[in-house]
A and B are shown apart, each in its own frame.
Chain A
Amino acid sequence: NAGVTQTPKFQVLKTGQSMTLQCAQDMNHEYMSWYRQDPGMGLRLIHYSVGAGITDQGEVPNGYNVSRSTTEDFPLRLLSAAPSQTSVYFCASSYSQGSRETQYFGPGTRLLVL
């Protein structure tokens, strides 16, 4: 079990560039989500998904797109990077039922937008 994996670990972009942050889990979890972590602001939910083909917006969705074509993968796309998107991004997955409900987090992707 690899758990939740994220690639890349680090990325530097120029303003206006696009990129995709990859997230995969091998635990057959229905629920997956993306957060960004900024100093003093905790984790803020960007997008989430309760299953393949179903996604919804979180607190800070602007500038980001997601899709969920398989249970395992949940990529996050930055359409046109801006310096305000400099952050640490975490992907998480979880069971959604019963006592097993727990979010498992990936190691994070550190993004710098110049």
Chain B
Amino acid sequence: AQSVTQLDSQVPVFEEAPVELRCNYSSSVSVYLFWYVQYPNQGLQLLLKYLSGSTLVKGINGFEAEFNKSQTSFHLRKPSVHISDSAEYFCAVRVGLTTSGTYKYIFGTGTRLKVLA
């Protein structure tokens, strides 16, 4: 079964420091990969996505992620974080060929980024 693992439930980091949020997936077929951000009491918002092509993907708010097929990873990075980046971040994978021949999205359990002044 396909799955997404976010190893860190919480990541504290000082303002202006770099950060990496880790995401690993398990799938035997091609996948599409996504990172979403959720601010308190809001829905999820897309940060970036990997569908094909360049393995380094740039998103909004200065975030980027690198798709590594051999390590089945899609880690999210930002070189310098701001207080406003404090939120919960979710990694997700689109997997195909369900029992009905369609596809679905699987989310990780989330990583709470806490940026300290």
Q: Does A107 contact B44, Cβ atoms closer than 8 Å?
A: no
Question: Is A54 on the interface with B (CB-CB < 8 A)?
Answer: yes
Residue of B with least CB distance to A4:
B43
| Chain B min CB distance to A11 (Å) | 16
A27 to B14, CA, bound (A): 39
> Please, what's the 1-or-0 string for A88-114, where 1 marks a CB less than 8 Å from any CB in chain B?
001010001001011101111000000
Number of residues on chain B facing chain A (CB within 8 A):
27
Chain A residues within CB distance 8 Å of chain B = 4, 33, 35, 40-45, 48, 50, 54, 56, 58-59, 90, 92, 96, 99, 101-103, 105-108
Question: Is B100 on the interface with A (CB-CB < 8 A)?
Answer: yes
A36 to B3, CA, bound (A): 17
Partner of B49, one of A4, A54, A92, A102: A102
Chain B residues within CB distance 8 Å of chain A = 6, 9, 32, 34, 36, 42-46, 49, 51, 90, 92, 94, 98-100, 102-110
A42 to B105, CA, bound (A): 12
Q: Does B42 contact A42, Cβ atoms closer than 8 Å?
A: no
Partner of A90, one of B32, B43, B103: B43
Partner of B43, one of A50, A96, A101, A105: A105
Known: A43-B90, A107-B42. A56 touches B100 (CB 8 A): yes
Contacts of A41 in B (CB 8 A): 109
Partner of A45, one of B34, B49, B90, B106: B106
Q: Does B100 contact A54, Cβ atoms closer than 8 Å?
A: yes
Residue of B with least CB distance to A33:
B105
Q: Does B107 contact A99, Cβ atoms closer than 8 Å?
A: no
